[in-house]
Amino acid sequence: MQRRGRILCTATALVLLAAMSATARQDIEVLPEEARLVPEEAFGTRVLPAPTPHWIYVLDVAFDNLVASRVNIFDGDSGDFLGVLHSGYVPNVLPAPNRREVYVVETYWTHGTRGRREDLVTVFDARTLEPVAEIPLPQGRALIVSKQPVAQLSDDGRFLLSFNLSPATSVSVVDLEARAYVGEIEAPGCSLVYPTGARSFSMLCPDGSLADVRFDASGTAEVVDNDPFFDAENDPVFEHAARDAAGRTWYFVSYDGRIHEVGYDARGRTAPRESWSVLTEADAAEGWRPGGWQLVARHPGNGHLYLLMHKGPKWSHKWPGEEIWVLDPEANRRVARIPLEEPAVSLAITGDDSPLLVTLTDTGVLSVLDPGTGERRRRIEGAGVTPFLLDSFAP
Partner 1 sequence: MREPSLLDRLVERVTRRVAQKSSRRGFLARLGATVVGGVMLPLLPVDRSGRLRRAHAQAFAEQAQTRDDTACNYWRYCAMDGYLCTCCNGGVAECPPGSEPSPTSWVGSCINPDDGQVYLIAYRDCCGKGVCGRCPCLSTEGEMPVYRPQLSNDIDWCFGAKSMVYHCTTAGLVGRA
Q: Which is nearer to partner 1, 49 or 167 (CB)?
A: 167
For position 33 contacting partner 1 by CB under 8 A, the verdict is no
Q: Is 316 exposed, middle or buried (0-12, 13-18, 19+ CB in 10 A)?
A: middle
Confirm or reject binding of residue 336 to partner 1 (CB under 8 A). no
Instruction: Return the biggest CA–CA distance within the chain.
Output: 80
Enumerate the β-bridge partners of residue 124. 102, 131
**Candidate list 5, 138, 206, 247; residue touching partner 1; CB under 8 A:** 206
Contact flag: residue 176 with partner 1 (CB under 8 A) = no
Near partner 1 by CB under 8 A: residue from 285, 315, 330, 353? 315
Contact 120, 135 (CB under 8 A): yes
Q: Which one among 5, 136, 138, 188 touches partner 1, defined by CB under 8 A?
A: 188
Please give the C-alpha separations between residue 181 and each of 184, 186, 211, in angstroms, as whole numbers.
9, 15, 23
Q: Is 301 in the site for partner 1 (CB under 8 A)?
A: no
Q: Which residues pair with 258 in a beta bridge?
A: 277
The rounded distance, in Å, linking the Cα atoms of 327 and 27 is 63
**The one segment of 46-54, 105-113, 277-285, 295-303 that binds partner 1 by CB under 8 A:** 105-113
For residues 85 and 90, which CB has a smaller minimum distance to partner 1 in the complex? 90
- Quick one: CA dihedral 228, 229, 233, 238, positive or negative? negative
Starting at the edge strand that comes first in sequence, how are the strands of the sheet with 270-277 ordered?
A: 242-244, 249-253, 258-264, 270-277
Of 5-13, 47-55, 63-71, 262-270, the window that binds partner 1 (rule: CB under 8 A) is 63-71
* Angle, alpha carbons 373-147-295 (nearest 5°): 25
Instruction: Give the nearer residue to partner 1 in terms of CB position, either 58 or 345.
Output: 345
| Least distance in angstroms from the C-beta of 87 to partner 1 | 16
Task: List binders of partner 1 among 107-126 (CB under 8 A).
Answer: 107, 109, 112-114, 117
Question: Measured at the alpha carbon of residue 97, what is the angle toward residues 91 and 102, in degrees to the nearest 5?
Answer: 35
Length of the chain: 395
Q: Which stretch binds partner 1 (CB under 8 A): 42-50, 61-69, 265-273, 340-348?
A: 61-69
**Which of 70, 147, 258, 310: binder of partner 1 (CB under 8 A)?**
147
User: CA-based angle 25:31:35, to the nearest 5?
Assistant: 120
| Residue 368 CA to its chain's centroid (Å) | 18
Calpha distance 203→206 (Å, rounded): 10
Q: Binding to partner 1 by residue 222, rule CB under 8 A?
A: no
CB of 123 to partner 1, least distance (A): 24
Instruction: Select the span of 171-179, 205-213, 320-328, 370-378 touching partner 1 (CB under 8 A).
Output: 205-213
- Contact between 236 and partner 1 by CB under 8 A: the answer reads yes
Q: Which of 277, 316, 332, 363 binds partner 1 (CB under 8 A)?
A: 316
Q: Which phi and psi (to 5°) does residue 281 adopt?
A: -60, -40
Q: Does 90 bind partner 1 (CB under 8 A)?
A: yes
- The answer to whether 311 contacts partner 1 (rule: CB under 8 A) is no
Size of the site for partner 1 (CB under 8 A): 49
* Stretch of 50-58, 165-173, 342-350, 365-373 lying at the interface with partner 1 (CB under 8 A): 165-173
Q: How far is CA 226 from CA 32, 191, 210, 270, 312, in A?
A: 72, 14, 6, 8, 33
Stretch near partner 1 under the rule CB under 8 A, chosen from 6-14, 18-26, 190-198, 327-335: 190-198
Shortest distance, position 239 Cβ to partner 1, whole Å: 5
- CB atoms near residue 49 (< 10 Å): 9
**E-assigned strand segments in 312-386:** 321-328, 333-344, 346-349, 357-360, 366-369, 376-380
Does residue 143 touch partner 1 according to CB under 8 A? yes
Q: Is 287 in the site for partner 1 (CB under 8 A)?
A: no
12/113 with CB nearer partner 1: 113
Binding-site ranges for partner 1 (CB under 8 A): 63-67, 89-90, 107, 109, 112-114, 117, 142-145, 147, 165-169, 186, 188-192, 203-207, 209, 225, 232-234, 236-239, 313-318
